[in-house]
Chain A
Amino acid sequence: MEEILRILEKNCRTDPSEISELTGLEEKDVRDLISKAEEDKLILSYKAQIDWGKLGDGPVLAIIEVKIAPQRDVGFDAIAMRIARFPEVKSMHLVSGDYDLAAQVEGKNMYDISNFVTNTLSTIDAVQGTSTRFVLKRYKEEGTLIGGDDMAEGRLPVSF
Chain B
Amino acid sequence: MPESTSNKYSRVSSRVDSIPSSGIRRFFDLIASSDDIISLGVGEPDFITPWNIREAAIYSIERGHTHYTSNSGTLDLRREISKYLKERAGVLYDPASEVLVTVGVSEGLDLAIRTTTEIGDEILVPQPAFVAYEPIVHMAGGKFVGIDTSMENKFVPAITELESKVTDKTRAILINNPNNPTGAVINKKVLFEIADFVLANDLIVIADEIYDRLVYGDKDAFIHFASIPGMLERTVTLNGFSKSYAMTGWRVGYAVGPEEILAGMTKLHQYTMMSAPTVAQHAAKEALSNGDSSVNEMLEAYSMRRRLLLNGLNNIGLECIEPDGAFYAFPSIEVTGLSSESFAEQLLVEEKVAVVPGNVFGPSGEGFIRCCYAASVADIKEALVRIGRFVDKHKSDR
Contact = CB atoms under 8 A, between A and B. Distances in A.
B44 A18 contact: no
Interface stretch (B13-21, B259-267, B300-308): B300-308
B132 interface: yes
Interface string A145-160: 0000010100111111
A137 to B, nearest CB: 20
Given A158-B39, A159-B42, A23 B307 contact: yes
A22 interface: yes
B26 to A, nearest CB: 13
B244 interface: no
Contacts of A3: 300, 304
A152 B28 CA distance: 21
A154 B130 CA distance: 22
B12 interface: no
B41 A158 contact: yes
A155 B44 contact: yes
A155 B132 contact: no
Contacts of A21: 307-308, 311
Nearest to A18: B377
Nearest to B378: A18
Interface in A116-160: 150, 152, 155-160
Nearest to A24: B307
Interface residues of A, number: 16
B354 A158 contact: yes
B43 A159 contact: yes
Contact of B48 (A22, A150, A157): A150
B200 interface: no
> Which DSSP category, helix, strand, loop or mixed, fits chain A's interface?
loop
A157 B304 contact: no
Interface string B14-58: 000000000000001001101001010111101110000000000
B119 interface: no
B353 to A, nearest CB: 11
B354 A157 contact: yes
Contacts of A158: 28, 31, 39, 41-42, 354, 356
A21 B310 CA distance: 10
B307 A6 contact: no
B121 to A, nearest CB: 25
25 contacts: A3-B300, A6-B300, A18-B377, A21-B307, A22-B304, A22-B305, A22-B307, A22-B308, A23-B304, A150-B48, A152-B48, A155-B39, A155-B46, A156-B42, A157-B32, A157-B39, A157-B42, A158-B28, A158-B39, A158-B356, A159-B42, A160-B43, A160-B130, A160-B131, A160-B360
**CB-CB nearest 8 A-B residue pairs:** A22-B304, A158-B41, A159-B43, A157-B39, A160-B131, A160-B43, A150-B48, A152-B46
Interface of A: 3, 6-7, 18, 21-24, 150, 152, 155-160
Given A6-B300, A22-B377, 11 more contacts: A3-B300, A18-B377, A21-B308, A22-B308, A155-B42, A157-B31, A157-B34, A158-B39, A158-B42, A158-B354, A160-B356
